[in-house]
Structure 1
């Protein structure tokens, strides 16, 4: 993997249950890990639902393999890139050579 291609900074957030001051449990996204990545494959699609045009943006982030992300799960992690949130849809371990990880993501609609 060429390190010159890792030209953008992304943040991985983890979904955790936290307890407030009176003991209530709630889910909260907290920053977990930050690293440089390669962004590729922006392919979008439009669809019409109930007279609204919805645009889905798909990206793939490729990062170097690290111990912090080796057990990443698509249900407990998400990516922050340029202030936008992306849900992870698929994690590719790139033939399990422990050199890089590819995260396929879809932009979160707010």
Structure 2
């Protein structure tokens, strides 16, 4: 893996349940891990229905393997890149060599 290609900073957030003073449960996102990534397979796509436009862009992030990212899953984690939120659709462990991981993501609205 060429380290020079890891040129964009991403933040991985984790979903957690927070309980307020009166016992209400609320889902909140908190910063879990920040690292550099290689961006690939960008596929911008817009969908129009009933006069509304949705941005369904897909993107892949390749990151270095570490103990923090070894527990990632497509449920409960998301990626923040250039102030846009990306939902993790799948994770490629790159032949389980424990050198890198590829996150297949889709852009979501705030």
TM interval, shorter chain, is over 0.9
Distance 1:48 1:24 in 2: 37
2:13 is aligned to 13
Normalised TM-score (structure 2): 0.93
Aligned-residue RMSD, C-alpha: 1.1
Measure the CA separation in 1 of the matches of 2:48 and 2:79.
26
Unpaired stretches in structure 1, ≥5 consecutive residues: none
Partner of 1:72: 72
User: Residue 47 of structure 1: CA displacement?
Assistant: 2.5
1:70 partner SS: helix
In the alignment, the residues of structure 1 paired with residue 99 and residue 77 of structure 2 have an alpha-carbon distance, to the nearest angstrom, of 20
**For structure 2, which runs of at least 5 residues remain unmatched after alignment?**
none
The alignment covers a number of residue pairs equal to 110
Partner of 1:105: 105
Partner residue, 1:37: 37
Structure 1 ranges of 4+ moved more than 4 A: none
Give the TM-score, by structure 1 length: 0.93
Q: Is the 8 A contact 2:6 2:63 kept in 1?
A: yes
